[in-house]
A and B are shown apart, each in its own frame.
Chain A
Amino acid sequence: MRYEKPTTVEAATALLAGQGARVLAGGTDLLVQMRSRVLSPDVLVDIKGIDATRKITKDASGYTIGAAVTGAELKEHPTLSKDWPGLVEAANLIGSTQVQGRCSLGGNLCNGSPAADSVPGMIAAGAVATIAGPKGTRTLPVEDIMLAPRKLALTAGEFIVSFKIPARPAHGGDAYLRFIPRTEMDIAVVGCGVALALDAGGTCTAARVSLGAVAARPLLVEDGAKALIGTKVDDAALAKLEAAVRAACKPIDDKRGTVEFRIDVAGTLAKRTAKIALERARKV
């Protein structure tokens, strides 16, 4: 196996267009899969040498977060946690403190697990990926990137350089909750991200609801958003949200949870998550 650390996007896409190439960002999934021989890449392309993958920039339109920025760095950013606390919390739930020192939004998404914690957080926040490839750069909403377990909408030579997170709406708030059997170190059995915006009177004007680990890919639940928009996010709206979320779940039975359990808990978590997002929206 070869290890390459290109410093430009072009060099990276050229390397990635080759046979058996694989992106290395934080490596917290990749190295485990290499060790267990699930993956045996011929070339590892370490994208951390490319400046754009490693920085967070902020302007009037929002944030641009490099795909290889670590969870710990997201948390340490002076304003990101204030604007998008749910997104940062979601990213910070990936693995341990040690894993936080390495794991990234790009890696968490491109590992292709429906249970990735940061992905529903990003989807709820309306994140859009900037994808570089041999034919240039394109953008794609995060919810359209993962198609099925281990299957992405990226073509040969493409990789995610960064994510664009919109500016937080005036009265906007987001939150992410997941269910795991322990308090840490588990893969999400259910994950739920909610972002919403209120008008001056406290009525919900926009919402995005996303679920992880309840289907073959992370879901953007349109009906969940509809349940909230136009309401004061009261108990009736939350009950509708719960029902919409449960209806959207298409989970499997596995070692981490049952179909019944995942559907139940998704509804419970959606309500709890929406309440936190609401509180946050009211405070800003």
Chain B
Amino acid sequence: MNISDFNIEFDKMINRDYFSDKVHPLREKAFSKFLEIGLPTKKLEDWRFTNLSSISNSSFRISEKQDAPNGDVDISQYQIDDVETIVIYNGHYIETLSSIPSGIQLLTGLDYLEKTNWEFNSPEHSPFDLLNTAFMDSGMSIVVDQNVIVEKPIRLLFISSGSESLMVTPRIHIDLGESSSATFIEDHRGDSNSFFQNGSTFVTLKQNAQLDHIRIQSNSVTTANIVNIQVEQNANSRYTFFQFADGGQLGRLNIYNELKGEGANSDINGLTLSNDSQHLDNHVITDHQMPHCSSSQNFKTVLQDNSSGVFNGRTIVRKDAQKTDSSQSNKNLLLSKSALMNSNPQLEIYADDVKCAHGSSTGALDKDALFYLRSRGLDVLSAKALLVRGFATELLDLVKHDGTRDFIIDRFDSWLAENTTA
């Protein structure tokens, strides 16, 4: 996508009859800012390891009405047991396939903006935040009232399909009222080979609210996935995030997590599997602004073939955030000689009475452990697979919901079967 491609697509967006023109000023402002800065380059510290050529060298068009499915779609292949599913197909909400969970309010983006009196703070951490505001075309706002406990996980299933090169820009809002709790699953799948998704998710947790957020990035290995997650936490709220990523030619997860109330807690975790020439990037910022908060970041990557990965974690402890307890861990397993991992666990600390630790390690499978298993009669492949499985188990166990965990473990095992080599 060069700038003129973006311009053409933006004109189409603005002239679309079924989008409310109330949102246009918001889009126009963000787009003109985007035009000023353009796509990030490797010269920027934050993007120095991320090669965006799969976005900048192809051209995508926004998804139109005709890209919605003709008739029924079989979603049984995307089954996850025991969840409420809302289906979004190439950026179009498919009501017939969706089951609306009880206990929550589902709003469109516009309804949500009206509800919040348009007092919405759009972050501008990167040009992709601006692009999302300019092009937002799908997604959902989920509002949970105070004291409501939503038992069944809510899944937003994003399917990308067809042979067209589409650019889809979902925007999700999740608002949890005081003392409410929910589990939310973002599930990205589909068979489309050329696809650029630039999603933003905004999470707001009121006091004592609790959200389990699971993100599955398992779409085709030739797509580009950019995701920007912004989390605002109030006092004593709890946020757990887990990403399982094995899809995407280019994947980039940006999380900006603000701990704005005392006693808030966040745990951000990720398991990334990559092969061929995939590049999967994880950028996480945890910003401690108030005292007595705790946080952890735990990311693991398994890399095969020529794939590359990045972990860039940053924990910021502001002046007032005394008694912070935080940890950061990044462990990476290189299964091939040509895989590359960049690990940057960073701490930025301005308060003195805090406990912050971080650690990182990168290496191959332990030869002694392999020898031990082989001496007990396991063949090379099973021994290696067992060790990789052991490496990942700590994270897989974090998924509390049975159906989702089973699905992720299946997916993990089949990846392992394909990618374990002697």
Genuine A/B complex: no
Which A residues form the contact surface with B (CB < 8 A)? none
Which B residues form the contact surface with A (CB < 8 A)? none
